[in-house]
Amino acid sequence: MAYQSVNPSNGEVLKNFDQLNNSQLEQSLAAAESCFQTWKHTTYAERAVIVGKAAALMRTHVDDFAKLATLEMGKRIDEARGEVKFSADILAYYAEHAEKFLAPTKLHPKVGAAHMESSPFGVLFCVEPWNFPFYQLARVAGPQLMAGNTLVVKHAGCVPQCAIAFEKLWIDAGAPKGAYTNLLISHEQSEKIIDDPRIKGVALTGSVAAGKSIAAQAGQNLKKTSMELGGSDAFIVLDDADLEKTIPWAVWGRMYNAGQTCCAAKRFIVLDSIADKFLEKFKVALSALTPGDPMDEKTTHGPLSTEAALVQLLKQVDEAVASGAKLVMGGKRIDRPGSFMETTILTDIKPDNPAFRDEFFGPVVSFFRVKDEAAAIALANDSDFGLGGSVFTKDEARGKRVASQVDTGMMFINNIDWSDAELPFGGIKYSGYGRELGNMGIQEFVNKKLVRTADLNAPA
C-alpha cells in the first residue's frame, strides 16, 4: 500500500488510503491551473489574509496537528508541537514580508530608467518528505502562495493523514479550490505531472536518489527545480571547545527527531587532544536517553519513522562494521515493540568504508579523531554532501575562519540552531541547490522581468 498510516511506536496499521486515479489527478491539475489564473491577480494583502489565517489556525490547533505527526512518523510530542508552531511562524512570516521581498527593484542604466519586477510562474509541483511532515509543507506553501503561484503537492507515503490535514488547513483558511492540492499519487504519476505543460516548476525535498530522478525528468522539460536533499554534516570540535556546552549540542544535533534530520550532526570530527574526553562524555549523555512512547512527554528517545527505515539503518551499521568500523556503543534494534534503534557510535571509519560517504538517517554517530584544525576542515570537506555543519570553539573568530573553509550551504558556530523563517536554508553538492526560507526562498519560482523605459530613436 503506497499510502498507509502506521504507528511506528507499536507497528499498528492505522489507516490505508487509495491513490488518485488518472482522471481524478487530471481534475486536480485543471483546478490548480484554473485557480492560478485568478490567484495571480489577487493582491498581496488578499493573499496575506488567507496565509495569515492558516498560520493562526495552526497555532490554535497545535495539538491536533502535532498528534498526527507523532502518530504517523513517531516524532516525540514536544518536538511535534515545536514543528507545528514553527510552521505557523513561517506562514505568518511570508504573509507579512512577501510584498516587500517581491517589490520591483530599480536599476540604473546609463540611459533611461529600468526596473526588475517579479511575477509568479504558475502551478508548482512539490514533492516532500515525512521527517518534518508540516514544516516541509509550510516551507513551500507560505512563500509560493504569497508569490502568487498555486501548488500541487505529493507528500511521503507514510504520512497521508498529515498531508490531508495540511490541505484541509487551506480550505479552512479560505483559500480558493486549487490553490493548494494534496495528491496521493504514485512515482509514475509524478513523472507524468512533471511532463505536464501546466506545471511550471518543481521543488523536491528528499533523498539524493529522488533528486536525481525528479531533476532529470524536469530537465527533460527544461523546468526550473529546487532540490533540498540529504546531508552528512560535520560537527567539528576544536581543542579549545567548552565541552559542558558542546556535549548537549552534540546530543541534540544527532538525536533531535530521532536523528532523522537532513542537517543533523552526523560526522563528529574532534581534535585529538580532547577526543577521548569528548567521546566519554558523549557516550554518557547518549546513554541517558530513554526510549518510549513518543506521545509520552517523558520519552527522550523515539522510534524511527517506519520499520523499513529501521531495517535500512541496521543494514548500514552492519556493513560499516563488516568493512572495518568499530562499534563503540549500540548497533541493534531495541528489544521492544516498534521501530526503535539503539543510540549507536561508530569509530575507525576509513575512506574505503561505505559508511565514510553514506548518510545515516537515524541515531548513529560517526566519530573521527583528527590531529589539527586543518585536518578537521579537510575531513569535513571530504564528503559528497554539502548541506550544513558546525564548529565548537571558545574563540569565535577561529570558529568563523573554520566555517568559511567548509564547503556547505550553512555553518553554525557554537550552536546548531538550524532553521529560522528569516534565514535561507539549503546546500551544495549532493545536498542539492536552491534555497528555501528567508527572502531567497520566495525568489525561486518567480519570473524576474526587466522593464526598461528610454525615449530613444532607433539606431540608423
Residues labelled catalytic: 228, 262
Select from 50, 77, 175, 214 the one that contacts ligand NAP (CB under 6 A): 214
Local structure of 75: helix, strand or coil: coil
Nearest-approach distance from CB 129 to ligand NAP, in angstroms: 4
Contacts of 60 (CB under 8 A, 6+ apart): none
Distances (CA, A) of 284 to 60, 159, 247, 264, 342: 39, 34, 10, 20, 14
Footprint of ligand NAP on 343-372 (CB under 6 A): 359, 361
Q: Site for ligand NAP (CB under 6 A): which residue of 141, 387, 413, 442?
A: 387
- What pairs with residue 345 in β-bridges? 329, 365
Give the Å distances, CA to CA, from 190 to 90, 201, 395, 417: 27, 13, 49, 34
- In terms of CB distance, is 128 or 373 closer to ligand NAP? 128
Which of 47, 154, 266, 267 binds ligand NAP (CB under 6 A)? It is 154
Site track for ligand NAP across 413-432, x = CB under 6 A: ------------------xx
Q: Which stretch binds ligand NAP (CB under 6 A): 23-31, 71-79, 155-163, 331-339?
A: 155-163
CB of 308 to ligand NAP, least distance (A): 9
Using CB under 6 A, which of 52, 143, 206, 253 touches ligand NAP? 206
Cβ closest to ligand NAP, residue 380 vs residue 387: 387
Instruction: Return the residue of 7, 131, 149, 161 that touches ligand NAP, per CB under 6 A.
Output: 131
Q: Does residue 86 belong to the site contacting ligand NAP (CB under 6 A)? A: no
Per DSSP, 288 falls in state T
Report in angstroms how near the CB of residue 35 gets to ligand NAP at its nearest: 23
383 phi-psi bin (left φ>0, alpha ψ -120 to 50, beta other) = beta
Q: Which residue is nearest to ligand NAP (CB)?
A: 206
**391 makes contact with ligand NAP (CB under 6 A):** no
Least distance to ligand NAP from the beta carbon of 254, Å? 14
Residue choice 8, 52, 120, 230 for contact with ligand NAP (CB under 6 A): 230
As given in the structure block, the three cell numbers for residue 37 are 489564473
Under the criterion CB under 6 A, does residue 229 sit at the interface with ligand NAP? yes
Count interface residues toward ligand NAP (CB under 6 A).
28
207 binds ligand NAP (CB under 6 A): yes
Residues 262 to 321 in contact with ligand NAP, rule: CB under 6 A: 262
**Considering beta carbons, is residue 174 or 219 the nearer one to ligand NAP?**
219
The full 3-state SS of 110-174, as one line of letters, equals CCCEEEEEEEECCEEEEECCCCCCCHHHHHHHHHHHHHCCEEEEECCCCCHHHHHHHHHHHHHCC
Distances (CA, A) of 5 to 10, 291, 377, 457: 12, 21, 42, 67
Distance CA 301, CA 295 (A): 11
Q: Which is nearer to ligand NAP, 128 or 342 (CB)?
A: 128
Neighbours of 432 (CB within 10 A): 27
Nearest CB to ligand NAP, comparing residues 162 and 325? 162
Provide the minimum distance between the beta carbon of 205 and ligand NAP in the complex, in angstroms, as a whole number: 5
Backbone angles phi, psi at 76, to 5 degrees: -60, 140
Q: Determine if 135 is a binding residue for ligand NAP (CB under 6 A).
A: no
From 32, 45, 362, select the one nearest 182 (Cα to Cα).
32
* DSSP classification of residue 259: G
Within residues 165-204, the interface with ligand NAP by CB under 6 A covers: 187, 190
Buried b (16+ CB within 10 A) or exposed e, 141-154: bbbbbbbbbbbbbb
**With binding defined as CB under 6 A, does residue 205 bind ligand NAP?**
yes
CB of 410 to ligand NAP, least distance (A): 10
Tally Cβ neighbours within 10 Å of residue 174: 11
List residues near ligand NAP by CB under 6 A.
2, 127-131, 154-157, 187, 190, 205-207, 210, 213-214, 228-231, 262, 359, 361, 387, 431-432
